Amino acid sequence: MPLVKNGEITPDPWTHIADGEDAPLDAPIIVSTDRWNAERASLVHRNAPIGIRLRNDQLPDELGEDLYRFGVVAIEFPAFKDGRAYTQARLLRERYRFTGEVRAFGDVLRDQLLFMQRCGIDAFEIRKLADAEAFRSTIGEISVFFQPAADDRRPVTALRNRAVASWAY
């Protein structure tokens, strides 16, 4: 599955591991929260990075003090009309100050890419390779925003005020 990260199509070093599936010992893996909770004692001793997969009905606070252990938090978008994953991304970035990769997977649509990015998602698993270029080109199409968001871009009002303040009469 193609990965668009930081505006580029990039190889994905992470592998989603299903519950019950054997995990490679020396490769970055993403596991479900259920598997993490069941196998935490052995997973913390891995010699490779670990990521966590959140269903859209799970809150990031369920990860507790373990959040810092994860290199990636993969947030599921099971259907385009379910917006709970947007809240998860904002909570990760704003409340928990998570600085690792926040990625969207599942029903990730190009039309919603900008909203996902504004909520703090910086990587997107795209189902079809043919769509990856369209996703890549979408990032950066809009550069000025009216609302503040998790991406810390300054809203247009702040930019306007700064420009007015710089005008000397």
DSSP string, 1-52: --EEETTEEE----EE--TTSPPPSSS-EEEEHHHHHHHHHHHTT-SS-EEE
- Residue 12: Cβ within 10 Å count: 16
Supply the pLDDT for residue 7: 78
* pLDDT string in tens for the chain (169-residue length): 788 888 788 899 999 999 999 988 899 999 999 999 999 999 998 889 999 999 989 999 999 899 999 999 999 998 777 788 989 999 999 999 999 999 999 888 767 777 888 789 999 898 766 666 666 666 666 565 556 666 666 666 666 666 555 665 5
Supply the pLDDT for residue 163: 58
Rounded to 5 degrees, φ, ψ at 105 are -140, 160
Domain ranges of the chain: 3-142
**Superfamily of domain 3-142, CATH level 4:** Aldolase class I (3.20.20.70)
* This prediction's pTM: 0.80
pLDDT tens-digit map of 71-82: 999 999 987 777
